[in-house]
């Protein structure tokens, strides 16, 4: 079976793509914001809500036991998916942003001192900037950012120059949600560890593109969201090396995260439960397991090759349109294509594409410092996934050409 035929069968698992928008076949190119959900994931969450609903860990009945087993099986599935040493290193949260906030609150606030530094990059999402700023401000530490080159690659010389014994934390995206740049995480971690810094990786964009191996990277923390991995909203993961999680105080208080409560003193549960106060998103975790199974059924070799072909075709097509500038031309890119049209506002282009049935994202993409670095206020962003095909690319390029002609 050819790759095109294979991915047409994958595409058929996404009923959302059968709809029409403004009378046209819907072309969904906003997967960097959130992925569509395959039938297997939708059916899994449906079955849970219909037949299996129960709270976990404390139930005294059969269905509660079943929910607990499935919830913890999901934790194990995540651990295996990113090659963590143990499922004890997997904390379920709402998404990438909460995962980073947890690390900033429970780890950074307890290690940072006045004069210390947190090193980020200019390509970070606001969710990987603001939590560190809050922690640094409280501790009178500084937040620095390594520069991005004109082609969208991280300036490794500047990164190394800004590393010092003062650097206690490095937080970096594995793949830029605007530029598509895929960073060399192994090298970044090695350089950071040389000065004794701990590294958090924002893996929100990379988890649906290629295999993540936290042990090979040797990162200290890693965060991602289920909804960018074909799972529902409201479920995400913080991975942390167990020796670090063991040292961290609770992020929130309440049920599940305790072993004993009295008015005199409360003692806290072991990790990861110490960080999962209250009723967890049981259905979300179970659906995340189904999403991981979906990805594994395809395989990252096929996924990466398919997305690379789509990105290459889209890049070639957009590059031929006059007065269109691509933002982010790194050699190693994920399936993300951001661009600006001379004389046109990005929001106007986005609306014109929508009228042609093309769903893209337009704006600053929660990366205002990066927009400032490139001297723009925003971009139009197309992002590709397993359910896209070359016809989608052709429709997209044709729509951009039509939009550009309106502003000549």
Is residue 131 within 8 Å of residue 275, measured between CB atoms?
no
219 classed as catalytic: no
Q: What length does the chain have?
A: 408
Phi, psi of 397 (to 5 degrees): -65, -40
Is residue 124 within 8 Å of residue 172, measured between CB atoms?
yes
The three-class DSSP label of residue 202 is strand
Q: Which among 258, 298, 359, 366 is annotated as catalytic? A: 366
Measured between alpha carbons, how far is 222 from 130 in angstroms, rounded to an integer? 17
Q: Which residues contact 46 (CB under 8 A, 6 or more apart)?
A: none
Phi, psi of 118 (to 5 degrees): -115, 125
Neighbour-count burial for 295-327, b at 16+ CB within 10 Å, e otherwise: beeeeeeebeebbebbbebbbebbeebeebebb
- Which runs of E-coded beta strand occur in 299-398? 324-327, 336-341, 358-359, 361-363, 379-383
List 379's β-bridge partners, or say none.
Answer: 363
Give how far the C-alpha of residue 133 lies from the chain's centroid of Cα atoms, to the nearest Å: 20
Measured between alpha carbons, how far is 203 from 97 in angstroms, rounded to an integer? 11
Q: Left (φ > 0), alpha (ψ -120 to 50) or beta: where does 249 sit?
A: beta
Per-residue DSSP letter, 246: T
Q: Which two tokens stand for residue 270?
A: 């072991």
Nearest to 100 by CA among 132, 144, 76, 141: 132
Taking the CA of residue 99 as centre, how many other CA atoms within 13 Å lie in the half-sphere pointing to its CB? 29
Catalytic residues: 366
């Amino acid at each position: 079976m050819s790759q095109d035929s294979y991915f047409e069968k994958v595409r058929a698992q996404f009923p959302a793509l059968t709809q029409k928008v403004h009378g046209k076949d819907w072309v969904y190119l906003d997967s960097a914001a959130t992925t569509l959900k395959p039938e297997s994931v939708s059916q899994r969450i449906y079955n849970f809500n219909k037949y299996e609903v129960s709270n976990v860990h404390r139930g005294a009945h059969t269905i509660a036991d079943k929910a607990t087993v499935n919830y913890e099986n999901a934790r194990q599935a995540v651990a295996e998916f990113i090659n963590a040493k143990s499922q004890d290193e997997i904390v379920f949260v709402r998404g990438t942003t909460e995962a980073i906030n947890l690390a900033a609150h429970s780890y950074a606030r307890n290690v940072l001192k006045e004069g210390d530094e947190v090193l980020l990059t200019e390509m970070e999402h606001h969710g990987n900037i603001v939590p560190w700023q809050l922690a640094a401000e409280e501790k009178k530490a500084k937040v620095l950012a390594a520069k991005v080159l004109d082609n969208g690659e991280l300036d490794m010389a500047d990164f190394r120059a800004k590393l010092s014994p003062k650097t206690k934390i490095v937080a970096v995206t594995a793949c830029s949600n605007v530029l598509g740049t895929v960073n060399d995480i192994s090298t970044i971690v090695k350089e950071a560890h040389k000065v004794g810094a701990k590294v958090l990786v924002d893996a929100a964009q990379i988890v649906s593109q290629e295999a993540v191996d936290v042990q090979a990277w040797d990162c200290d923390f890693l965060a991602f969201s289920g909804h960018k991995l074909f799972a529902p909203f409201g479920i995400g993961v913080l991975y942390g090396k167990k020796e670090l999680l063991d040292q961290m105080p609770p992020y929130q208080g309440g049920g599940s995260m305790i072993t004993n409560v009295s008015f005199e003193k409360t003692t806290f549960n072991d990790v990861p439960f110490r960080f999962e106060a209250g009723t967890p998103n049981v259905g979300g975790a179970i659906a995340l397991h189904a999403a991981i199974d979906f990805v594994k059924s395809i395989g990252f070799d096929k996924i990466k090759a398919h997305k690379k072909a789509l990105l290459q075709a889209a890049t070639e097509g957009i590059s031929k349109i006059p007065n269109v500038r691509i933002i982010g031309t790194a050699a190693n890119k994920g399936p993300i294509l951001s661009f600006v049209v001379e004389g046109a506002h990005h929001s106007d282009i986005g609306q014109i594409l929508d009228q042609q049935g093309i769903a893209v994202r337009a704006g600053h993409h929660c990366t205002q410092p990066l927009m400032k670095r490139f001297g723009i206020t925003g971009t139009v962003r197309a992002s590709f996934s397993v359910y896209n095909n070359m016809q989608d690319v052709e429709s997209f390029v044709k729509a951009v050409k039509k939009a550009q002609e309106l502003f000549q």
